[in-house]
Amino acid sequence: MPFELDLPEIRAGILEFPVWHARGGTSTGLILARETLPEDPALVEELLRHLMGVPLSGDLPGNNQITGLGRGGPTSNKVFIAERRPGESRLVSTLAQLAAGKSAIDWSVNCGNMSAALPLYALERGWLSPDEDSAQIEIFNSNTQTTMLARLAFRDGRLLSDTRIPGVNGVFPGVDLFLSDPVGAKTGQLFPTGQRIDLLDGVRATCLDVAVPMVIVQAADLGKTGLETPAQLDADGEFKARLISLMVQGGLRMQLRNRSGALMSAEELQRSETLPKICIVSPAQGTGDINTRYFTPQNAHPSLAVSGGCCLAAACLAQGTVAHELLKTPKPLSATTAEYPVSIENPAGVLDTLITAREEGGSMRIDAAAYRRSAQILLKGRVPLYNASAALFEALKGRG
């Protein structure tokens, strides 16, 4: 049966906007069809604020998002805009990262977890179809200008629900995601500072850019074991202040840029909900290669974002980094490209990654990073926009 795109409608004088509510990995959020959105970027942002229940302007500390579909933490405040451009077979994704108490929307990063929901959306749209036992689609992320390949498994034409991941109860469709050329997602360099270890306020840190720029610090150097719960770390005000300070210093040294292309200031980094990420690492306690507590960066993550996991896995393979020092078993690179599995312990369990790399002229060449997530479509429906501005009403009325 041909797919018919759901469009905005007016009922009882109220605009109703079509959404897919989805989970990818340990994140939840919305997927919106580009064709249904206004042309004006300011109206797009207004729409997203209505949908997710964040302030329409300024800040609103303590906002609990009961007026929208967002759910407090950054892992449940994501919106993907999806499209397939004329003449292309790939899906183009654009991520909007929102925050409960802020009107500002961050368009600078991708989300590896929520990306796992995109092939399910593509399946709904008829953009991919099973070929024997699998189906795959190329996904280009416009935020980071990076490409990944997403693969779903089928049996006898039926989508398999066979994957269990840490942090998610139950078994759901598995999605294999392969990040191509993930180095330098934001800076163009593997080690943006030019060093494998930097001293940030006297603390040894590795600043790395693989899938996402990140600052990596050994937990012991901040007086932590690395086994604390996310809640315990967030409750330690002195620790959090020092961690954010290190994140800001690392961001300045990596010369991160905002959406306009200008260098991010210390104030922008201090407020950032996305860049750079920061994590603390410690020796593995179980079957993994290393243990981590990851930050988004303002809050401790309940598990581990896959983009950050891939970045940390790459750091584990690079000699001379603070992560490599703690690796349970060294994984020396050869001059021939090979796949290196790295398992990362986190509060929800273990994230298994696969880094395709080789030694090249005393440095490390990374061709790809892969991981597996599970995903599900939670709901397909319409959200009434009770308080849409006149401009948004008119723009969306024309889309119906």
Give me the mean pLDDT over the 284-303 stretch.
94
Quote the pLDDT of residue 341.
94
Quote the mean pLDDT of the chain. Answer: 94
b (16+ CB within 10 A) / e for 271-299: bbbbbbbbbbbbbbeeebbbbbbbbbbbb
List all residues 6 or more positions away from 83 whose beta carbon is below 8 Å from its beta carbon: 33, 34, 35, 91, 92
Q: What is the DSSP letter of 263?
A: B
Q: CB burial class (10 A; 0-12, 13-18, 19+) of residue 261?
A: exposed
Closest CA to 127 of 176, 92, 163: 92
Q: What is the pLDDT of residues 226-253, one digit of tens each?
A: 999 999 999 999 999 999 999 999 999 9
What is the CATH architecture assignment of 198-362? Roll (3.10)
Give the whole-angstrom CA distance, residue 324 versus residue 313: 9
The three-state (H, E, C) secondary structure of 63-87, written as one string:
CCCCCCCCCCCHHHCEEEEEECCCC
- Contact present, 370 and 306 (Cβ < 8 Å): no
- Look-up: residue for tokens 């409960």? 100
Give me the mean pLDDT over the 181-186 stretch.
89
- Look-up: residue for tokens 């995109």? 118
Contacts from 123-130 at CB under 8 Å and sequence distance 24+? 123/152, 123/159, 124/3, 124/20, 124/377, 124/380, 125/3, 125/5, 125/33, 125/82, 125/84, 126/2, 126/3, 127/84, 127/89, 127/91, 128/152, 130/154, 130/157, 130/159
Quote the pLDDT of residue 131.
72
Quote the pLDDT of residue 296.
87
Q: Does the pLDDT at position 172 exceed 50?
A: yes
Categorize the per-residue pLDDT at 161 as very low, low, confident or very high, splitting at 50, 70 and 90: very high
Which tokens hold the place of 119?
């092939």
Q: Does the pLDDT at position 400 exceed 90?
A: no
Quote the pLDDT of residue 1.
46
Q: CB burial class (10 A; 0-12, 13-18, 19+) of residue 240?
A: middle
Domain extent listing, the chain: 9-183+376-397, 198-362
Which tokens hold the place of 391?
């401009």
- Contact present, 274 and 75 (Cβ < 8 Å): no
- Cα-Cα end-to-end distance for the chain: 22
Categorize the per-residue pLDDT at 4 as very low, low, confident or very high, splitting at 50, 70 and 90: confident
CA 177 to chain centre: 13
Which tokens hold the place of 281?
């690492």
SS3 8: coil
Give the whole-angstrom CA distance, residue 73 versus residue 47: 20
Q: Does the pLDDT at position 160 exceed 90?
A: yes
Give me the mean pLDDT over the 1-28 stretch.
91
Q: What is the pLDDT of residues 27-69, one digit of tens each?
A: 999 999 999 999 999 999 999 999 999 999 999 999 999 999 9
Q: What is the pLDDT of residues 200-227, one digit of tens each?
A: 999 999 999 998 999 999 999 999 999 9
CA 278 to chain centre: 13
Q: Does the pLDDT at position 2 exceed 70?
A: no
Say whether the peptide bond before residue 276 is cis (omega within 30 degrees of 0). yes
- Contact present, 345 and 285 (Cβ < 8 Å): yes
What is the CATH architecture assignment of 9-183+376-397? Roll (3.10)
Which tokens hold the place of 1?
């049966």
Q: What is the pLDDT of residues 298-353, one digit of tens each?
A: 899 999 988 899 999 999 999 999 999 999 998 999 999 999 999 999 999 999 89
* Same fold yes or no, 9-183+376-397 and 198-362: yes
